[in-house]
Amino acid sequence: GAGVSQSPSNKVTEKGKDVELRCDPISGHTALYWYRQSLGQGLEFLIYFQGNSAPDKSGLPSDRFSAERTGGSVSTLTIQRTQQEDSAVYLCASSPSRAEQFFGPGTRLTVL
Amino acid sequence: GENVEQHPSTLSVQEGDSAVIKCTYSDSASNYFPWYKQELGKGPQLIIDIRSNVGEKKDQRIAVTLNKTAKHFSLHITETQPEDSAVYFCAATSGFQKLVFGTGTRLLVSP
Q: Which residues of B touch A59 (CB under 8 A)?
A: 98
Going by C-alpha positions, the residue among B36, B52, B28 that lies closest to residue B86 is B36
Q: To the nearest whole number, what is the mean pLDDT of chain A?
A: 93
- Compute the nearest-CA separation of A43 from chain B (Å): 6
* B105-110 vs B10-14, strand pairing mode: parallel
CB contacts < 8 A, A to B, total 55
Top residue of B36, B54, B99, B106 to mutate, by most chain A CBs within 10 Å, is B99
What would the 3-class secondary structure string for chain A be?
A: CCCCEEECCEEEECCCCCEEEEEECCCCCCEEEEEEECCCCCEEEEEEEECCCCCECCCCCCCCEEEEECCCCCEEEEECCCCHHHCEEEEEEEECCCCCCEECCCEEEEEC
Model pLDDT for residues A30-85, shown as the tens digit of each residue: 999 999 999 877 899 999 999 888 899 999 999 999 999 988 799 999 999 999 99
Residue B95: per-residue pLDDT = 67
d(CA A23, CA A26): 10
